[in-house]
Amino acid sequence: MDEADLIARYFAPLAGPGGLGLRDDAALVAPPAGAEIVLTADALVAGVHFFAGDPPEAIAAKALAVNLSDLAAKAADPLGFLLTIALPGDWTPQWLEVFAKGLGDLARESRCPLLGGDTVATPGPLTLSITALGSVPAGRMIRRAGAKPGDRLYVSGTIGDAALGLALRRAELEGAPAPPWVDALDAAQKAHLVRRYLVPEPRLALTPALRACASAAMDVSDGLAGDLSALLRASGVGARVDLREAPLSPAAAAALRADPGLFEILFSSGDDYEILCAAAPEQAVRFEALAGGAVTAIGEVGPASAGAVFLGPDGDKLNFARDRYSHF
Amino acid sequence: MDEADLIARYFAPLAGPGGLGLRDDAALVAPPAGAEIVLTADALVAGVHFFAGDPPEAIAAKALAVNLSDLAAKAADPLGFLLTIALPGDWTPQWLEVFAKGLGDLARESRCPLLGGDTVATPGPLTLSITALGSVPAGRMIRRAGAKPGDRLYVSGTIGDAALGLALRRAELEGAPAPPWVDALDAAQKAHLVRRYLVPEPRLALTPALRACASAAMDVSDGLAGDLSALLRASGVGARVDLREAPLSPAAAAALRADPGLFEILFSSGDDYEILCAAAPEQAVRFEALAGGAVTAIGEVGPASAGAVFLGPDGDKLNFARDRYSHF
């Protein structure tokens, strides 16, 4: 199968009108009148960002979801995406078919069609790079910079699930020792954590709430504490955050009860793909209503001079040994 | 050096205003009023698309240039690009500094600033993926489909240099046998061919001519014969092309004289990054004037029923054993 056949068979069915059937040199997008274009790109490498043996539909969905998560954090409406895929020599049509199905399912669900890309061979691991485009009304992209003293801080969904899911996958796939908290979880809880690691859920449903109310936002991809510190630095402010208020899934809460040493890990590990944002206090009621219960207040922005203070399990100030995960 | 330091040091200086200092989750581009956005993405892998030992500034320039070449073929004005780079463990600050300089030089020269991207580690070879954005007045992107019987066919620059440059690099870097034509070339001619392989020159200067006059266009990246066949298929037409009219550099012409067996290779190998286009006969004078001598007429579009006929060195119909190079 040559590259043109492969594209026609697996990727062209995913293309939106702007993809021109993936038969031209480029894609063509007509931005909505008065809109600005929001652009983000993330690369994922087998063995670094996912396990080569992960389900192909999950690998595909993750590659797209981490980009959609950035669009969601900027309150952008998806317009489409481009994918470059470097395939190792041992790829099979079966693998690619399931990969394309996973990609297409999330693309349809998030109204973010494939626009173009490139398929190449690699002697190395499977490597994916996605660039996603969104649109915002001019001047309305939510930045990292913009949080002001007095703003409330919110986070969507639950934090720390993916870190625990990764530990479970390591034990399963790489023979790493089973984590000490594993016996405290039932099968459904373990499956929940693994699913949260495998397939992030981009929080695009928050876009109206963020656009209406947020003063600053970013997605939590490298650990809540480190990412929040980045948002505060960009905004030139400090904050007091009570991590006991941070939202945990029942599975993560059970793991934490079994192993209190997890506390710091939950808030400093990668792959949450939740939205962290700030909103002025007078916007709080409206924001929470528009968000429909999908966010949790975790603290308040203060002056830069007060620094970034995280309260730990005993209500005392927590000093992270390492507040952020790095894939690099 | 962590990822944030690396970005701040090497890539942030290349960022245009839309890149927001590479300190947010996303880039923000305000498209010109009434414009449509043209998007293209290409991935390059060390050992597949370039030699790992190629000069870092040439690797960087090639990665951007192949994308700019697609924008040029669509008559799009560059708006910016996103880069994802997967770095093997043995990268050095010196390497990255020269890489960034090469990238920045071409970005400035082509008014195509860096907008964003991602930097990740890989256990495999250096892998680059660039998505480039351009703009066209609404409805004015030049497609592959659009050539009509009677149109003249043109190609920019010279064809086949990169294929010969690649053969010289293989002999130099991989100990492949020296090509039989090498002794017919002087040092400057050999250097010209190698440079043409290492650093394509995107033909952005042709944009006004293409936008004013072309009925169809694409860039020649995988071999003139195969790419022209793709353009003809997309347009639903045939053509008669006299390859004796195809433009050769003095170096390629000298090699061909020394080894007439090169003829088919020159027109079916990759990495030319020239523009192939069609223009109605009544546009020919204007097109050639606007192009300023940078294009050569190579044939004429005919009905689909006539097929794609390539005339070879003796004026007879040439049947390519393989009309197109594939990196996949």
pLDDT, tens digit, 9 for 90 and up, residues B208-227: 999 999 999 999 999 999 99
Per-residue confidence (pLDDT) for residue A318, from 0 to 100: 93
Residues in chain A: 328
ipTM of this complex: 0.95
**Overall average pLDDT of the A48-55 stretch:** 96
**pLDDT averaged over 10-residue windows placed end to end, chain B, 328 residues:** 90 96 96 95 97 97 98 98 97 97 98 97 98 97 98 98 97 91 98 97 98 98 96 98 97 98 95 98 98 96 96 93 75
Q: Which of residues 84-113 of B touch A (CB under 8 A)?
A: 84-87
Q: Are A209 and A277 in contact (CB under 8 A)?
A: no
Same domain (yes/no): B131, B211: no
Chain A within 8 Å of B250 (Cβ-Cβ)?
no
Please state the length of chain B: 328
With a cut of 70, say whether residue A24 has pLDDT above it: yes
> pLDDT category, A328, cuts 50, 70, 90?
low
Taking the CA of residue A82 and the nearest CA in chain B, the distance in Å comes to 7
Could you tell me if B198 and B58 lie in one domain? no
> Do A21 and A170 fall within a single domain?
no
List CB contacts of A237: < 8 A, sequence separation 6 or more.
A147, A148, A149, A301, A302, A303, A304
pLDDT at A294 (0 to 100):
95
- Mean pLDDT along residues A30-44: 96
Residue A324 exposure: Cα atoms within 13 Å on the Cβ side: 16
Contact B192, B157 (CB under 8 A): no
- What's the pLDDT at B328? 67
A144 is in an annotated binding site: yes
Provide the shortest C-alpha distance from residue A182 to chain B (in Å): 30
Chosen domain end from B113, B137, B161: B137
Pairing of strands B274-279, B308-311: unpaired
DSSP class of residue A221 equals S
User: CA A323, CA B203: separation in Å to the nearest integer?
Assistant: 47
Q: Kindly list the residues from chain B whose CB atom is less than 8 angstroms away from the CB atom of residue A138.
A: 30
Q: Does residue B303 belong to any structural domain of this protein?
A: yes
Give chain A positions within 8 Å (CB) of B277. none
Query: What average pLDDT does range A172-178 have in this prediction?
Result: 90
Q: Is A143 inside a domain boundary?
A: no
3-state helix, strand, coil in chain A (%, to 5): 40, 25, 30
Annotated ligand binding at B271? The verdict is yes
Task: Tell me: do A184 and A276 sit in the same domain.
Answer: yes
Six-digit token string for A179: 């984590």
| CATH number, residue B14 | 3.30.1330.10
**A118 — contact with chain B (CB < 8 Å)?**
yes
- State how far the Cα of A44 lies from the Cα of A26, in Å rounded to an integer: 23
Note whether A20 contacts B: Cβ–Cβ < 8 A. yes
| Residue A164 and residue A303 in one domain | yes
Indicate if B77 and B15 belong to the same structural domain.
yes
Was A186 annotated as part of a binding site? no
Q: Is residue B320 part of a domain?
A: no
Together in a domain, B95 and B211: no
Token pair 């070339």 is found at B185
Q: What domain range includes position A156? A: 152-311
For residue A147, being part of any structural domain is answered with no
In total, the C-beta contacts within 8 angstroms joining chain A to chain B are 218
In angstroms, the separation between the Cα of residue A69 and the nearest Cα of chain B is 10
Per-residue pLDDT for A310 more than 80? yes
Strands B152-156 and B127-137: unpaired
- Minimum distance, in Å, between the CA of residue B119 and any CA atom of chain A: 7
Whether residue B298 sits in one domain with residue B218: yes
Q: In sequence order, what DSSP letters do the residues of B176-217 get, joined into one string?
A: PPPPTTGGGS-HHHHHHHHHHHHS----GGGHHHHHHHEEEE
- Number of domains chain A is built from: 2
**A142 in any annotated domain:** no
CATH of the domain at B235: 3.90.650.10
Residue A161 covered by a domain: yes
Reported as a single tens digit per residue, the pLDDT across A63-79 is 999 999 999 999 999 99
Identify whether B144 is part of a domain: no
pLDDT at A194 over 80: yes
String of DSSP letters for B250-313:
HHHHHHHHH-GGGHHHHTS-S---EEEEEE-GGGHHHHHHHHTT-EEEEEEEEEGGG-EEEE-T
Q: Is residue A317 part of a domain?
A: no
Residue with the bigger pLDDT between A169 and B328: it is: A169
Residues A122 and A224 in one domain: no
SS3 of A287, please? helix
Nearest CA in chain A to B84: A43
Please tell me whether B10 is known to bind a ligand. Answer: no
Average pLDDT for residues A184-194, to the nearest whole number? Answer: 98
Residue A1 pLDDT grade (very low, low, confident, very high; cuts 50, 70, 90): confident
Do A196 and A281 sit in the same domain of this protein?
yes
Q: What is the pLDDT of residue A258?
A: 98
Domain boundary among B137, B163, B188: B137
